[in-house]
A and B are shown apart, each in its own frame.
Chain A
Amino acid sequence: MASPGTLSRADRRHKWSVKLSPFGFISPYFLIFGIFGLFPLLYTAFVSLQKRNLLDADAATFIGFGNYERLLLHDPYFWNAMGNTVSLWLMTTIPQILFALGIAHLLNRRLRGRTLFRMGMILPNITSVAAVTIIFAQLFGRDFGLVNWVLSWFGAGEVDWQAGTASSHTAIAAMVVWRWTGYHALIFLASMQAIPSTMYEAATLDGANGWQQFWRITVPLLRPQIIFSTVIATTGNMRLLAEPLLFNPGTAAATGGSDRQFQTAALYLYEQGFTKYDFGYSSAIALVLAVVTMLVAGLSYLVTRRIQTD
């Protein structure tokens, strides 16, 4: 046996294994993420400074901020896409949060079949974006679409949803709101259930009606969840791509409509990168979009933070 103070070979091996194994346990994550997640992310910045075409890889040249100059100063399509992105962000995020609050409020009562209702709310969220968009494109069809058929009862049935800016944005917003409202409603519901009923009893005694209680008690107490949901919805809705791509499939798919009526910034990134193979330019769009998304997410954080807490 080893003398006191020194370790046997087996003990030493054990000590090393205890010391090193945590790194062994976390290394698969960091290895794979580092190579296929982090590296491409950082490399985007470098590619965005190049004139680089997939079909002519050897001719990649460093052009500094040339892509950015072209993008920000000389490209009306980019600004069109950015405008559509912001418009769709507003038309999706605000209704999502408001509807979700209302639905959560309804779900927060004594209910028979609670599980059924809750599962029903989340059903849209589990269906794939491709399937959803194809289904909605059919519903919003011009000639045989269900939406136009219903509208025709009110004497307004001939909307060509894909053709106009406002109409196409409405249709795309409808599918995004449909898909995500239930998800946010469940998050709100979870916190609503933690609000002690004594708060409502006290308010009732003070003469507050249901509407006042909702806006003065429920909504302020849900502030952290509203902030969370708004920021999550913002980062998701600022990079809509599948919806506009599949809303009007065919030759005009990547341009988001014949006249770019509903081309989002993410779709423009796709068009430049993967139909025109202009990788440098596409990377520049990716970076600008990421920066704008962070700014808009910050803005929505600041706005939702101002919800009154008495």
Chain B
Amino acid sequence: MTTVLTPPTTTPGRTRRIVRRVTSPWTYAGLIAILAGSAFPVYWSLVVSSQTNEAVGSVPPVLLPGGHLFENIARVFDETDFALALGNSLIVAGTITVSVVLFSTLAGFAFAKMRFRGRTALLLVVVATQAIPTELGVVPLYMMMADLGWAGQLQAVIVPGLVTAFGVFYMRQYFEHALPLELLEAGRMDGCGPLRLFWHVALPTARPAAAVLGLFTFMQAWNDFFWPLVVLVPENPTVQTALSTLASGYTTDYTLVLTAATIGTIPVLVVFLLFGRQIVGGIMQGALKG
């Protein structure tokens, strides 16, 4: 008995593997059911995308894909401005991602590795502003955009998104642990000024964290709904505001709307399939908010 209770001498993972009971089939059954529940709405939107409206409006409902997917996709691009929306979303999400990653890395590096007056206080400001809901300021922000003549235009969505407190904090945490001072010192001995130090020493080190931050920023910017809805006009939409316009028509063309929803989900789905492991890892570190 006492042998069981002594602390593990091997690595924790290995010990756990020896001691744990065999996983029961019920666990798998439960997890597969949850997995099916997670995937079902996305699957079902694909089913509707490949059917005709007559088939969708029938009882019992259709549960398997039909043969009308390409016909519906063609309809989305012929009958709506969805191509424009996709292009707009790419511009918005792309610009925001590049900018957030660059400025967060710059500021995160300064906060982690440089000494300057007011550093602690300023970092505290960054952390505190993370908690403030942006919805609170939409009315004045809209007034500013109207004054600048930006209402209805993409820069109204892009510019406020160019920086995030979360990004700065995230990169700062990364540099704090991942960039050894010796490396910076070596760079200084070689005569690097601050900017070259950042460019040649810090930036290469930051690549893994910058990639994760970039993934999340892209997905968030792509999926953002409220602010684009407020400041853009239906004639110049992002994917999300185009979906809301499509869904609020008087006669709802379900296959059209859900085909558009499916198309609008594909870019994040692709990112997710390529980098799902990193995304899951980022969330499990508790560092990333969706």
Our verdict on whether A and B bind, yes or no, reads yes
A residues at B contact (CB < 8 Å): 14, 17-19, 21-23, 25-26, 28-30, 32-33, 36-41, 43-44, 47, 54, 103, 106-107, 109-111, 115-132, 134-139, 143-146, 149, 178, 180, 182-183, 186-187, 189-190, 196-198, 201-202, 205, 225, 228, 232, 235, 239, 241-242, 245-246, 249-250, 253, 266, 269-270, 273-274, 279, 282-283, 286-287, 289-290, 293
Q: How far is the CA of A21 from the CA of B143 in the complex (A)?
A: 34
Query: Would you call B290 an interface residue if the criterion is a C-beta within 8 Å of the partner chain's C-beta atoms?
Result: yes
Min CB distance, B30 to chain A, in Å? Answer: 6
* B163 x A111 contact (CB < 8 A): no
A residues in contact with B61, CB < 8 Å: 144-146, 149
**B104, B114, B225, B247: which contacts A22 (Cβ < 8 A)?**
B114
B residues at A contact (CB < 8 Å): 1, 4-5, 7-8, 12, 15-17, 19-20, 22-23, 27-28, 30-31, 34-35, 37-39, 41-42, 44-45, 48, 56-61, 103-104, 106-107, 109-111, 114-116, 119, 122, 126, 129, 131-144, 146, 159-160, 162-163, 165, 168, 193-195, 198, 219, 222-223, 225-226, 230, 239-240, 243-244, 247-250, 252, 254, 257-258, 261-262, 264-265, 268-269, 272, 276-277, 279-280, 283-286, 289-290
* A249 x B247 contact (CB < 8 A): yes
Q: How far is the CA of A130 from the CA of B136 in the complex (A)?
A: 21
- Additional A-B contact list (5), CB under 8 Å, known A110-B17, A138-B48: A36-B159, A37-B129, A109-B20, A149-B60, A245-B244
Q: How far is the CA of A279 from the CA of B135 in the complex (A)?
A: 14
Q: How far is the CA of A196 from the CA of B16 in the complex (A)?
A: 8
* A29 x B126 contact (CB < 8 A): yes
**B28, B244, B258: which contacts A249 (Cβ < 8 A)?**
B244
* B143 x A41 contact (CB < 8 A): no
* B38 x A182 contact (CB < 8 A): yes
| Contact status of A134 and B261, CB under 8 A, knowing A26-B107, A40-B140, A124-B41 | yes
* B45 x A44 contact (CB < 8 A): no
* B276 x A115 contact (CB < 8 A): yes
* B160 x A242 contact (CB < 8 A): no
Q: How far is the CA of A218 from the CA of B160 in the complex (A)?
A: 42
* B139 x A283 contact (CB < 8 A): yes
Q: List 23 A-B contacts (CB under 8 A).
A: A22-B116, A29-B165, A36-B160, A39-B144, A40-B137, A41-B136, A43-B137, A44-B136, A44-B137, A109-B27, A110-B20, A115-B280, A120-B34, A122-B283, A126-B279, A139-B44, A183-B290, A186-B280, A197-B16, A205-B1, A232-B289, A266-B135, A273-B230
